Amino acid sequence: MSESWIVGINPVEGALSNDASRVREVLVEQGQRNARVQELATRAKALNIPVHHRPREQLDRLAGEARHQGVAARYEAPPMGGENDLPGLLEKAGQEALVLVLDGVTDPHNLGACLRSAAAARVTAVVVPKDRAVGLTPVVRRASAGGADRVPLIAATNLARALRTLKDAGVWITGLAGDTDTSVYGIDLRGPVALVLGSEGEGMRRLTRETCDFVAKIPMPGAMESLNVSVATGIVLFEALRQRSEKR
């Protein structure tokens, strides 16, 4: 486990709501009058978490490039899950299993936005390669708006092996790529499903793509050739939810 600083109202609120036992202290900017920040301080005190008022400059240093909004929390982050955690998560989700696989997303803002969408879509787990992902940095947590604390994040030592684990559990895998004629809207995304999106520049790696059961694209009639990975993630996740909400 490692300690890091979570900054911003939504990330701190997410940590207090979902994993308060790992919050070691909360810092509030001196003179801060934002009602939500004051509410977070009150909640932290009720949970016996120390609350300290500090100059804005100290929070600026902790936040770096992130926007702290007058509040920060020192958080003892648990290790990310591993491939061995997948079977249990899939068994618990059953026929509603919906897994998001991100093959090498390295931009922290993109990963955070993907986690936010995953949490909103009640995704079973988000799987990333252990050595080709940005990890749960403070910027990722800030961009996830609390999503990082609401969805299991699995760091796979071998992504192809993790995909085979999904297939062995009865999960159908659809990868997203632009160079195919198959529309994602024509794929059945009901039942246990995994959706795979590649990195910002290179897309899915060859072995990842070969492991997929289907490869589909998001149709784009406009002039752009591709979408930001976090935007594409939101589209395909909620297409899956739309299909699942319809009667068979």
pLDDT (tens digit, 9 = 90+) per residue, 151-208? 999 999 999 999 999 999 999 999 999 889 999 999 999 999 999 999 877 889 999 9
- SS3 state at 161: helix
Number of other residues whose CB lies within 10 A of the CB of residue 248: 6
Strand pairing of 2-7 and 71-77? antiparallel
**pLDDT above 50 for 1:** no
Confidence class of residue 56 from pLDDT cuts 50, 70 and 90?
very high
Pairs from 79-84 (Cβ < 8 Å, separation ≥ 24): 79/1, 80/135, 80/136, 80/153, 80/154, 80/155, 81/125, 81/152, 81/153, 81/154, 81/155, 82/154, 82/155, 82/156, 82/157, 83/154, 83/156, 83/157, 83/158, 83/161, 83/162, 83/165
Percent of the chain whose pLDDT exceeds 90: 65
C-beta separation of 102 from 111 below 8 A: yes
Question: What pTM was computed for the model?
Answer: 0.81
Instruction: Give the bridge partners for 76, in sequence order.
Output: 3
